[in-house]
Structure 1
Amino acid sequence: MQERVTMTDVARAAGVSTATVSYVLSGKRPVAPATRTAVEAAITELGFTVNTAARSLRTGQSTLVALIVPDIANPFFAQLAAALQEELRGLGLHVIVCNTRADRREERALLAEAVQQRFAGVVITPFRLLPRDIEVLGRAGIPTVISADVPFGPVDLVTPDARTATRQALERVTAAKRRRIAMIAGPRDATGGDPRLELLRNLARQFGTSLPGDLVVRGEHTREAGAEGFARLMSRRYRPDAVFCANDMVAVGALDKANELGVGIPGEVALVGHDDASFASLVRPQLTTIRYPAEDVGRAAARLLKERLDGRSVHRTVRVKAEFLARDSA
């Protein structure tokens, strides 16, 4: 049986120390480009792979990072997962995606599983969890990053900076003389309330309009909820002429229902999504949306995890810039 190639073998072939090979693999310290090239060439030539099982036995900790999301069907989270995985690969860490279906019991069960399995880290978009629920990870010493629109207690956070983009969306809508603005928002019991609704409501006042209570409908962040919410808005005596949506999945559901009801988009009603999921530019009309770049979120979360694994103890918040994308639906 062929003996397993070790880091010592790679170091000998590349003419460097084993520590340098480790730095190339982990990304924990900078390595000169020529040295990195030599190490990577030796890794390829020798067929070296990281022995993650041995590492787990030494440290008593898994090499797995859990990405816990509320809706695996939403392409936003697939994009986030790909970026997170790419950033963590050099550390010998592997990402597993866990779908909670926005169910609090499932969210809590997955946190408990992460503790039991001693995961190397957790990145989570909480939907119905409370800040105190996350404390179980901290007590277990598991590095944790929250991806959410609002602060979530003393923990690393990746959050959107969407104020400018939301203002630009309102500028486009109101410039077209639309004043009856509505929103298909998230459920009342979602974690942290509904910050996208509150931001839109606060900014709308600056444009001489508002979001009256009868023009805010609530539901899950799903395509089905978008269709149902749009139907409810169209049943109002005074229909809205612009509808903002909690995310792009909701917006596509609203577009489905608009087509079914014969409501012109954007002729009768302007439609604005949020996130810029991969399908947003594929539907017809193309979806005007507030782009919250999932890849940037994933990369930011990975960097925060790396810092924690390197010993950083102070909590950090990273704000990811959102961008308004004017397409055909508004």
Structure 2
Amino acid sequence: MQERVTMADVARAAGVSSATVSYVLSGKRPVAPETRAAVEAAIAELGFTVNSTARSLRTGRSSLVALIVPDIANPFFAQLAATLQEELRGLGIHVVVCNTRARRDEERALLAEAVQQRFAGVVITPFRLLPRDFEAVTRAGIPVVVSADVPFGPVDQIMPETRTATRQALERVTAARRRRIAMIAGPRDATGGDPRLELLRTLALQFGTSLPRELVVRGEHTREAGAAGFAELMDRRYRPDAVFCGNDVIAVGALDKARELGVDIPGDVALVGHDDAVFASLVRPQLTTVRYPAEEVGRAAARLLGERFDGRGVHRTVRVRAEFVARASA
């Protein structure tokens, strides 16, 4: 039987130390391009793979990280999953994607499963969880990274910085003399409320307009909810002339309903999404949106987990800046 190729074998073939091979695989430290090329050539020639099984036996943990998201059909979360997997591959870590359908019971069950299976880590976008729901995971010593708009207590967290981008979206809308601002927002029982709604309401006042209660409709972050919400807004006595959406999936549902009702976008109503999902530039009219980069969120989550694997004890919060993307819908 052929013996397994080790990191030391790769190091000898490349003429470097085993530590350098580790740095190339994990990305924890910079490596000169020519050195990286030599290591990668040795890896390819020898057929080296990371022995995650041996590490699991040594640490008592699996080589799996759970990525728990509310809607895997949303391209934002698909891109997040792809980036996280790519970033963790060099550490011999594999990503298991878990879909909660934004249900609290599913979220709690998946956290319990991560503890039972001794996962190496958890990255989660919670929808209806509370900070106390993470206590069992953290007590088990499993690193947790939360991606959310509101703080979740003593865990590592990724939070968006969207104020500037939202302000720019409002500038564009109000510059076109649109004053009746509406929003298709998320459900009332989401943990922490709806920070995107509250930010829009606060900033609207600075532009001499407002976001009145009667022009806010709520629903899940789905295409169907977007269509229903847009229809409800168009049935108001005083129709809005600009509609902001909690995410791009909602906005696509609104576009569907606008076509059905004969409402011109952006002639009659300006439409603004959130996230800049891959389809935002493919729909017609192309969707004006606030870009929250899923790739950056994935990279930040991988960095936070890697630091935890290396023994960092202090919790960190990483802020990811959003950008305004002007297209044809507003």
TM-score (norm 2): 0.97
Give the Cα separation in 1 of the matches to 2:166 and 2:191. Answer: 21
Correspondence for 1:12: 12
C-alpha distance in structure 2 between counterparts of 1:192 and 1:53, whole Å: 39
**2:99 aligned with 1:99, yes or no?**
yes
> 2:321 and 2:8 mapped to 1: Cα distance?
43
Q: Distance in 1 between matches of 2:36 and 2:179?
A: 58
Question: Are 2:145 and 1:145 equivalent residues in the alignment?
Answer: yes
More deviation in 137-146 or 34-43? Answer: 34-43
- Is the partner of 2:226 in helix, strand or coil? helix
Of stretches 80-89 and 283-292 in structure 1, the one that deviates more from structure 2 is 80-89
Q: Which amino acid aligns with 1:284?
A: R
Residue 69 of structure 2 corresponds to 69
Q: Note the 1:249-288 alignment, pairs <5 A.
A: 249-288=249-288
Listed one character per residue, the Cα deviations across residues 145-195 of structure 1 (whole Å, up to 9, x for unaligned) are 110111111111111111011011111111111111000000001111000
Question: 5+ unaligned residues in a row in structure 1: which ranges?
Answer: none
1:276 counterpart letter in structure 2: D
How far is 1:216 from its partner?
A: 0.3
Tell me which residue corresponds to 1:211: 211
For residues 15 and 293 of structure 1, what CA distance do their matches in structure 2 show?
Answer: 39
Quick one: which amino acid aligns to residue 149 of structure 1?
D
Q: Aligned equivalents of 1:168 and 1:31: distance in 2?
A: 39
- 1:135 deviates by 1.7
In the other structure, the counterpart of 1:329 is 329
Shift of 1:75: 0.1
1:271, 1:12 → 2: CA distance?
Answer: 59
| 1:33 positional shift | 3.7
Deviation at 1:328, TM superposition (A): 0.6
- 1:226-256 alpha-carbon deviations (Å, 9 max, x no partner): 0000011111111111100000000000000
Q: Which amino acid aligns with 2:250?
A: V
Amino acid at match of 1:137: V
Looking at structure 2, the residues matched to 279 and 33 of structure 1 have their Cα atoms a distance apart, in angstroms, of 35
Q: Which amino acid aligns with 2:73?
A: A
Tell me what 2:173 maps to: 173
2:300 aligned partner, one-letter code? A
Where does residue 199 of structure 1 map in the other structure? 199
Q: Secondary structure at the match of 1:190?
A: coil
Which residue number in structure 1 is paired with residue 240 of structure 2?
240
Which structure 1 residue ranges, 4+ long, deviate > 4 Å from structure 2? none
Q: What amino acid maps onto 1:87 in structure 2?
A: E
Letter in 1 for 2:129: L
Task: Provide the C-alpha distance between the structure 1 equivalents of 2:182 and 2:232, rounded to a whole number of angstroms.
Answer: 11
For residue 110 of structure 1, give the secondary structure of its aligned residue in structure 2.
helix
| SS class of match (1:101) | coil
- CA shift for structure 1 position 85: 1.2
**Residue 38 of structure 1: how far off its partner (Å):** 2.3
1:24 CA drift (Å): 2.6
Equivalent position SS for 1:184: strand
Gaps of 5+ in 2: none
Q: Structure 1, residues 241-300: CA drift from partner, whole Å, max 9, x if none?
A: 110000000000000000001011111111000000000000000001001111111111
Distance of aligned partners of 1:64 and 1:264 in 2 relative to their CA distance in 1, 3 Å threshold: same
Post-superposition offset of 1:21: 2.5
CA separation in 1, counterparts of 2:263 and 2:54?
61
SS in 2 for 1:279: helix
Q: Aligned equivalents of 1:323 and 1:269: distance in 2? A: 22
Query: Deviation digits for residues 104-138 of structure 1, max 9, x if unmatched?
Result: 00000100011111111111000000111012211
Q: Distance in 1 between matches of 2:207 and 2:20?
A: 58
Give the letter aligned to residue 86 of structure 1.
E
Report how many aligned residue pairs link the two structures. 330
Deviation at 1:32, TM superposition (A): 4.0
Structure 1 residues 291-318: Cα deviation after superposition (integer angstroms, max 9, x where no partner): 1111111111111111111111111111
Q: Aligned to 1:295, what secondary structure does the other structure show?
A: helix
- Whether 2:96 is the aligned partner of 1:60: answer no
- Corresponding position of 1:119: 119
Identity of aligned residues (%): 85
